Structure 1
């Protein structure tokens, strides 16, 4: 028996990173019988079927207990998310960024924010960093074409499986290439739409020196309707710390008097864009709750 980590799944075959190198394997039929499918990121035990004329045909025998599971993308055992936000080409989208942050907070995943292409507009990059530094997320400014960016990144990745998230064209594939010393295909930006061209077609883990990187397909929209509108502030770290300090226990932090969150907003401790996106998400969740009963 050999232990390894699934780094790719394609056409019913699984590529497994193990002490024996990268192995191709299939899942035993009993997984299908119980409706349990191996995922990229799974730690598995594999065996070999030495049939005559077949070289080391490998089978997944068992899957170790998962630390966590994401549905979109379908992957297991993620330690952290590195959210890539491009300053421009394509232009960043603050509502989408905040939806992503809520999504990963809901999943219980730590998030690091990397502001990419900072060299294209240093002033705008600093503005973004100021916004998200107030939210208690760790923020980093980087030009991914510079070798010194690699020196900053590697300590953040060491010993972890990190999912790269963000819109297409944010620099995820460039970052992966930089950290694992391989040239991956990058999509650039469409001249017509000014949006990134989607290049990541499947979920794949890339092994580095003591870490794994997951380059996920670019996101355009996330569904977070599993959250109750009244609980939304729990997923905004800069608001969560003051919940319970409002005049009213059922304060929604929108129109109520004596709101501790709005007081922090007035003092500049909560970024205006973050508060506006909170209000818009709150209204969106409320509307979806109403539509459930129609």
Structure 2
């Protein structure tokens, strides 16, 4: 049996380069990309995508839609790293640890949409708690996140590592119109009944994310506390290889969260911080935006799909 052919469309962007680097030395698959002169040739791109077994799209949203529309070979399977298809019902959401059976659904899917980096953390924290009924769907959720500048793609890397890097800002809060494209994705896959408030930012470090969700326990069930929330998350991810819940005794002694602590890995660490006196809880997720937040997730999904 011949090795499956994996075509990366858009292998020169931040995510595409990372995926290519992870796959190029593997012997269980054949890797295909287009030379620079053919990357914008619709005919060659169409030929390449229809000749592969699995296509990984690392493209802007509009280009990703065009690539999918060009598929006429029903055997071609797709992993889309853009945000073009993340809320569509006929695409499988590529977060294997999200819910029981999700990894199997990904393994059998024809169309998989890779999660966004921020949604990976937000959904990872919120969905188990909503599913268990500990947080109601109409809770007014706020999400705050800081990502490394590579989250902006080439533009961010150039700004901080190019000739004008000395003038690069140390911190940028953005999405001030409160219409970030990740918000509908978070709402849908976390199971929220209403739109969360999402406030993202970039820091002057290359990669890594700290994402936090504050909770007011006075708005939840009287008996609810941080330990109950932690136990729910710990049960949900007990068998997960890539998502870990920090034990409460370790989170109690933490004084800060380093967004870069898991850089170079495909892991995500979830934590629960609680203040009993004030009945407030802070949920946090730390992970590499280029690892579990992008390329690592795509390769994880690819590996699942290669089993079927």
TM-score, normalization by structure 1? 0.27
**Greater relative CO (CA pairs within 8 A, separation 6+):** 2
Which one has a larger percent helix, Structure 1 or Structure 2?
A: 2
